Amino acid sequence: MTDSTLDRVARATPPRVARRIRGLSDRAIAWIFVAPTIILLLAVNIFPLIWTIYLSFTNYRANRPNAEVEWVGLRNYQRILSDPEIWQTMQATAHFLFWTLFFQVLIGFALAWLINQKFRGNNLWTTIIVLPMMLSPAVVGNFWTFLYQPQIGIFNNIISFFSGADPTSFSMIGDVRLAPWSIVIVDTWMWTPFVMLICLAGLRSIPDSIYEAAECDRASKWRQFWTITVPMVLPFLMLAVLFRGIENFKMFDLVVQLTGGGPGSTTELTSINLKREAFEKWRTGYASAYAVILFVTVFGLASIYVKALNRVKNR
């Protein structure tokens, strides 16, 4: 099927030219163009996903490929859901998710609003703020362990400069109470720009005429902010939260380099825990069940959230 313009063109062209156009039918071209992408995505995403689901019902161990594989039914799932250690990593993940989203939304929105005041040079400064999120989380996270060192680390020294506390008196990644915050700080530093950019896109999508109308109605700036700016940016903000939420739920590289899950297992997020089960303890079947549970959780939460998002958008 082609669109009507093309059909008319085809009918009007001499047969010799028409044959060349038809040499490869549109449908054939379409499929030749699309097929490689679909095949590659099936091979690297869908097929492995199905395989993970299969493995989750077995006791397979990847470090013993020759051992007999047994079907164990739901045993892996039962063991995971009743394992207190897993609930602890879930809790660490929830803490990380909640506070990173909280700070990133707060700072990101504030920054976007300020940048939208259109001061001179705002484009260049926006780009500078964006820099951290373009960089390799593993390499940067690794270097943050140096910034966080008590005594010689710049972070502790800046904090002590403003608070008067001795820079040697606290260790961000060595202390059980501070470590969960150390990963929140670095993630916020890195990803606030993302929330900011999306909010900025939202702010710029609001037509001036709405504000002009409000101005004619003598609405105060404060009222304009709460009745125009916030509701119109909200769908964008929620989308940013969705993207960051999914990304941080699967957070691995930054935290593994920063704290490695320690001290103890205070910052052991689910992905780090899963990697340990799968590739250090080699409990492949068990880890697969774990991966399926996480996957279902992300997809479940994300789809509930998208429903809420659509309701806000259509309001």
Partner 1 sequence: MSSYSITEPSPRSKWIAGILVVSYALITLIPLVWIIATGFKSSSDSIAYPPKVFFEPTLEGYVNLFTRQTRATPEQLAATPPTTWYEQIVHDNGMVISGPSRFGERFMNSVIIGFGSTFLSVFLGTLAAYAFSRYRIPLKDDLMFFILSTRMMPPIAVAIPIFLMFRAAGLSDTHAGMILLYTAVNLSLAVWLLKGFIDEIPREYEEAALIDGYTRFQAFVKVVLPQAATGIASTAIFCLIFAWNEYAFAVLLTSGTAQTAPPFIPTIIGVGGRDWPAVAAGATLFLVPVMVFTILLRKHLLRGITFGAVRK
Is there binding between residue 74 and partner 1 (CB under 8 A)? Answer: no
We find the least distance from the C-beta atom of residue 11 to partner 1, in angstroms, to be 12
Retrieve residue 145's tokens.
Answer: 């362990």
If you count them, how many residues does the chain have? Answer: 315
Nearer to partner 1, 87 or 143 (CB): 143
Of the residues 7, 166, 212, 220, which one makes contact with partner 1 according to CB under 8 A = 212
| Angle, CA of 16, 17 and 22, to the nearest 5° | 100
SS3 187: helix
Of the residues 198, 259, 261, 266, which one makes contact with partner 1 according to CB under 8 A = 198
The closest alpha carbon to 271, from 158, 183, 139, belongs to 183
We find the least distance from the C-beta atom of residue 102 to partner 1, in angstroms, to be 17
Q: Find the binding residues for partner 1 in span 76-95 (CB under 8 A).
A: none
Q: Find the binding residues for partner 1 in span 256-285 (CB under 8 A).
A: 257, 271, 274-275, 278-279, 284
Is there binding between residue 69 and partner 1 (CB under 8 A)? Answer: no
SS3 58: strand
The pattern of x and - marking residues 93 through 132 that bind partner 1 according to CB under 8 A reads --------------x---x--xx-xxxxxxx-xxxxxxxx
Nearer to partner 1, 100 or 257 (CB): 257
We find the least distance from the C-beta atom of residue 73 to partner 1, in angstroms, to be 19
Rounded CA separation 22/7 (Å): 11
**Secondary structure element (H or E) that encloses residue 28, with its range:** helix 26-41
Q: Are 156 and 149 in contact (CB under 8 A)?
A: yes
- C-alpha pair distances (Å), 74 with each of 60, 71, 78: 14, 9, 6
Nearer to partner 1, 202 or 261 (CB): 202
Retrieve residue 176's tokens.
Answer: 């059980």
The closest alpha carbon to 76, from 90, 63, 57, 92, belongs to 57
Nearer to partner 1, 97 or 140 (CB): 140
Is there binding between residue 172 and partner 1 (CB under 8 A)? Answer: no
Of the residues 67, 94, 135, 165, which one makes contact with partner 1 according to CB under 8 A = 135
